[in-house]
Structures are given as structure tokens and as C-alpha cells.
Amino acid sequence: MSARIPVAVLAATGSVGQRFIQLLADHPWFEVVAITASDRSVGKSYAEACHWILPTPIPAAVQGMVLQPTDPASAPAPLVFSALPADAARNVEPEFARAGAWVCSNASAYRMAQDVPILMPEVNPQHLDILSIQQSNRGWSGGILTNSNCTSAGMTVALKALQDAFGLRRVFAVSMQAISGAGYPGVASMDILDNIIPFIGGEEEKVETEPLKMLGRFDGNAILPADFTISAHTNRVAVQDGHIVCLSVELAQPASPQQAAEALAAYQAPVTSRDLPSAPQPVIQVRSEPDRPQPRLDRMAGAGMTTVVGRIRPDKLFTLRLVVSSHNTIRGAAGGSIYNAELLHRQGWVKP
């Protein structure tokens, strides 16, 4: 175990930070050696400063670890997981990259930057190669790679399988998103109990652009976004974890529900990403019951990394309708970042 790569977790006490701590607890390759928080918590132990909201205990190795300021000198590590809010990430993540660290970020700050990939190893591992350009552009010895917002994650996996098999033209996406996606304390209980909030600030814009970048082509110089169009409605509902997206898709070639189900079920991660520790097993689970997927029942499929698809049926306007479920703080956040880091390490970018 002494050979594990030391990693730091930035903003370790928040909702996504806690998922990092939980998922990294017994990681075969990575070992948490530094954790950071905002000024108010620096100097306290993790157990003391953190209002832990997960149903498993705080990992023993982290309980007594002291929270550091969020800068490369205080949290030195070759690999850094960032659960920072976008504003803080914008300033802080480049400092770590400049200091030689690889920053696997959940923040939206750099997702749409030209030389920064939004990575899903089961979808677009080849986008990792743009990191050379990033290092060269910015003079960094490390770098930044991001994962998408939590809603885009699951639907992008499903769209990738359909894109490969049939091509994509137009996509309607309506999400019903869990409260954990808003962080902690996040959504006030009075706002969501017996209610729906049909609005999540900035989310529709992300859902309409991030999948296109992930499903685009890296031509050696730049990532060219995929040339289909997404229209999104995003909603907050009273679900603890797990996002549902209703999709209506217009395909480039005709496909029956059965053909689509087969393409989705057969989809595999590219070989380089397939057997990484956090790789979803399977990447996509197709359910045939009329009323699945459901967040409570399906969010933990494949330890929270699998995308679950169901209700594949014809659409009166486009080609097909389907429903996608994905765990928003595992596949859509911390788990996705860790999977990204595993690919980064597998491909030799991380120098411990």
C-alpha cells in the first residue's frame, strides 16, 4: 500500500468532497494524504469540521487528518481532486497545475476552455491527448481535466452508444434532479418537500453544451463539438441521489426500440478504459420493465457508476424516447473524477 499515489482532495468537507473521501477510502492506486477546506475549517480535524452526510462512516484514515488551506504548498500531491465551487476553482486550480499537479476537477470553471477536456473514460478517452497542448499553451507541468456536470454524465453515455450505432441529429432532454446535486445545505427543505422546482441556475446551458464537447472529435489540435443539437429543461425534485433524464432523440438512421436496446446494452468502454478500478460494470444496463429506471432502485447499479436506461420506445416526433438514470454524486461527480484520474495514471501522465 505504501506504493499508492498520494492525492489531495480540495474542498473535502462539502457534498462532493465527502464522496471523494468515501470513494477513495480503499482505492487500490490512490491514497489521500492531504485535504483542504475554506479558512473557517483550516486547522481542524476532518471529523471535527465536516458535517458528514453519507450513510457510511468517515474513513478511519481521514477522521483525524487536519484540514489545510487550498494551495499547492499546503496540499502538495501529484494528483489532486477538486470539489471546489466554480469561482474558487477558476483561481486555484491553475496554481496546482502550474505547481505540477494533475487536477481532476468537478468544477465548471474550465470545462469549456479550448484546451481542457471534459472526460468520461467510457466515452472519450482520446480527448486526454489534448493535455499536451494544454501544457504547452499554458506552460504548466501539470494540468487540468474536468468531468461534466452531473446531469450531462448519464445522458452522454447513452447518447454515445446511440451516436456510434445510428448517428444523432436532435435531442430533447428533460431532467429530474436529486437534491444532492445542489450541494449541502443546498436546497431548503421547505422548497422541495411536496414540490418541484422547475429551474436550476445555469444547468440547462451546461446540459446543452457539455455533451456535445464530450461527443465531439479531437483532431490533434482541438476538440470539435458534435454537430447535433440538444434542448433541455432541468428540474429539481425530492430525491436524495440519482438523476433521471427523459430523452427524445432524432437519429440519423432509423432504429427500432429493440435495435437501440441492443446497441445500448452492447456498448463497451474503449479498451484503454475498460478495466480500470472505477470502470462501470456494465457501462450501460438496459432494463425492460415498463417502469424503470427509478432513482431509488437504480442509482447504485455498478456501484453507482453504471448508466441505466429503460422505457425505450418510439417517439411521435423524433425517432425514439428513452429514460436514463445515473448517480449524480458518484458517476456524475466524485466517481467520475476518480475514473478520470485512473485513466490519466494508466496512460502515464501522473508522475508520483
Quick check: 63 binds a second copy (CB under 8 A)? no
Quick check: 189 binds a second copy (CB under 8 A)? yes
Return the DSSP state at 301: G
- Which x/- pattern over 110-149 shows residues binding a second copy (rule: CB under 8 A)? ----------------------------------------
b/e burial code for range 37-48 (CB count within 10 A of at least 16 → b): bbeebeeeebee
**In DSSP terms, which residues pair with 174 in a beta bridge?**
233, 246
C-alpha cell read off for 14: 462539502
Nearer to a second copy, 145 or 247 (CB): 247
Cβ atoms of 199 and 258 within 8 Å: the answer is no
Nearer to a second copy, 62 or 344 (CB): 62
User: Distance (Å, rounded) from C-alpha 230 to C-alpha 223?
Assistant: 18
H helix or E strand, kind and range, residue 249: strand 243-251
User: Distance (Å, rounded) from C-alpha 180 to C-alpha 89?
Assistant: 20
Q: What is the gyration radius of the CA atoms in the chain, in angstroms?
A: 19
User: Distance (Å, rounded) from C-alpha 201 to C-alpha 206?
Assistant: 10
Number of Cβ atoms within 10 Å of the Cβ of 274: 15
Active-site annotation holder among 50, 127, 150, 345: 150
Quick check: 184 binds a second copy (CB under 8 A)? yes
Cis check: omega of the bond before 185, within 30 degrees of 0: yes
Cβ atoms of 245 and 175 within 8 Å: the answer is yes
- In terms of Cβ atoms closer than 10 Å to its own Cβ (0-12, 13-18, 19+), residue 78 is middle
Q: Which stretch binds a second copy (CB under 8 A): 58-66, 116-124, 155-163, 226-234?
A: 226-234
Q: Which stretch binds a second copy (CB under 8 A): 61-69, 210-218, 238-246, 251-259?
A: 238-246
Distances (CA, A) of 290 to 20, 309, 311: 34, 11, 6
User: Distance (Å, rounded) from C-alpha 167 to C-alpha 160?
Assistant: 9
Quick check: 194 binds a second copy (CB under 8 A)? yes
CB of 234 to a second copy, least distance (A): 9
Check if 104 is active-site: no
Nearer to a second copy, 75 or 159 (CB): 159
Nearer to a second copy, 93 or 241 (CB): 241
Quick check: 190 binds a second copy (CB under 8 A)? yes
* Closest alpha carbon to 58 in 16, 14, 18, 8: 18
- What residues contact residue 243 under an 8 Å CB cut-off, 6+ apart? 150, 151, 154, 175, 176, 177, 178, 181, 295, 325, 326, 327, 328, 332
CB of 191 to a second copy, least distance (A): 7
Q: Which stretch binds a second copy (CB under 8 A): 82-90, 137-145, 197-205, 276-284?
A: 197-205
Give the number of residues in contact with a second copy, rule: CB under 8 A: 60
273-332 residues in contact with a second copy (CB under 8 A) are: 290-300, 310-311, 315-318, 321, 323
CB of 92 to a second copy, least distance (A): 25
Which of 95, 164, 208, 262 touches a second copy by CB under 8 A? 208
- Which x/- pattern over 11-40 shows residues binding a second copy (rule: CB under 8 A)? ----x-------------------------
Cβ atoms of 45 and 62 within 8 Å: the answer is no
Nearer to a second copy, 70 or 285 (CB): 285
Which of 114, 136, 229, 253 touches a second copy by CB under 8 A? 229
Check if 50 is active-site: no
Which of 4, 27, 44, 233 touches a second copy by CB under 8 A? 233
The catalytic site residues sit at 150, 243
Chain residues binding a second copy by CB under 8 A are: 15, 53-56, 170, 172, 174, 176, 179-180, 184-199, 201, 208, 229-231, 233, 235, 237-240, 244, 246, 248, 290-300, 310-311, 315-318, 321, 323
